[in-house]
Structures are given as structure tokens and as C-alpha cells.
Structure 1
Amino acid sequence: MTGKINSYKDLIVWQQAMDLAVSTYSLTKTCPKEELYGLTSRIRRSATSVPANIAEGYGRDNRGSYQQFLRIAQGSLKELETHLQIAQRIGVATHGQAEHLLLAAEAIGKMLRQLILKLAPE
């Protein structure tokens, strides 16, 4: 994407984090019912936290606050990666399903790191 950023919605990292969250909902629809209040809810919560924190940080009035929310998004992303690996290990997600989401998470993590560095004071 080129041009001026007018909203957090213009950020590619936010767009891809939204796609990842939607994909995790698709994955968790097939989870066993006994996991509804366990792994399923944790996967969904951590996945939705990533774009939500990117958006919330963007709405803050200062750079330091924005960076902090981006770091929180990074933490949620690592939490999601861990839950996905657990889901794979216990057979709730196939290797292919988990790997697809883990690769997307890795790409988002790299973008978050770049954005945090770009916002750092010079």
C-alpha cells in the first residue's frame, strides 16, 4: 500500500492481523465442544487482541503509548502462536492448519517489530 495513512485500517499489519483473527475463528469452529471454555476461547481472545491493540495504540495521542500497544499486540501474537502449537500437539488442529496460521503470525510479528522501530525516537 502506498500513500498517506489516514487510519489504522490503512495499516497492512492491522489488515493482516484481522485476517489472522478471522482465520482462527474458522479453525476453532471445528474444535471439540469441551474446549469451548479452554483452548478455543484462548485462541480467539489472543487472536482478536492483536488487531485490537494495533487499533487502540494508533488512537493514542503519543508515540510512546502507541509503541506500548504494539508491544502488547506482539505479546498477544506470541500467546496465539503458543495456543496454536498446543492445539496441533493435542490434535485439535492439523499440522497444515496450524502451520498456515503460524506463518501468518510470523509475518505479522515482523511487521509489528518494524513499526515499533520506525516509531522509536531518533
Structure 2
Amino acid sequence: MADELSKVFAALADPTRRDMVARLAASDATVSQLAEPYDVSIQAVSKHLKVLEDAGLVTRSREAQTRPVHLEAEVFDLMTKWIERYRRQAEERYQRLDALLAEMNEGPAAQRHTDEKPPRKGKAS
């Protein structure tokens, strides 16, 4: 799992590949369609796609004369689980810190007020 995750994060480290993934999230596209907005060759786009394919982020199929590229969204589940685990751990640490800060803010002055007994009502002697 860690090796798969490393490949995914490495593939997404490049801004051009992240942009391709974002565009593929909307719909499948051919290599030519993916190359359109970039000032690079089809071969350069193919190399980017090879990295994404090796990471399991995209697949290519054959439809008649075209080879559309398809985003494999399930890979994001792997990333999401990994990120969520550490998000939960961080959240727990923040909650403990919040509790400690709240306790510290109450401090000795607050403690003295809670230790004092309220004045008794009744007859004065």
C-alpha cells in the first residue's frame, strides 16, 4: 500500500499531471485532447500519462480508432483513507490541546472561586 501511495503522490507532484487528472475527472479524453491546452508535444503528454498510468490513476482503452484515457477514481479512495487517518490523529491532538488550554485558562484564580463556600443565608448571630 505504501509503495502504491508513493507512486500516486509522486505522479500528482507535477502540476501538469494534476491538471490532466482534474480534466479527466470531468470526462474521458484522448491524448490529443489532453495535449491541447499545453505548449508541449504529444510525446510529452504521453510520458505524463505513462506516469499516471503506472501510478494506477488512469487507464487507456480502445474505441474504434481512438484510445481514450479514463480516470480511475478508486485510487483516490486509497489516498483519502491515508489522509483521513492522519487527519483524525491531528484532530484528537487538537482536542487534547483545547482541553489543556481551557484548563490552564481557568487557572488558580478560577480554582479559588470554586473552592470558596457561598455565604450562608439565615439568621445573623
TM-score after normalising by structure 2: 0.27
Query: Whose RCO is larger (CA < 8 A, sep 6+)?
Result: 1
Query: Higher helix fraction: Structure 1 or Structure 2?
Result: 1
Query: Higher strand fraction: Structure 1 or Structure 2?
Result: 2
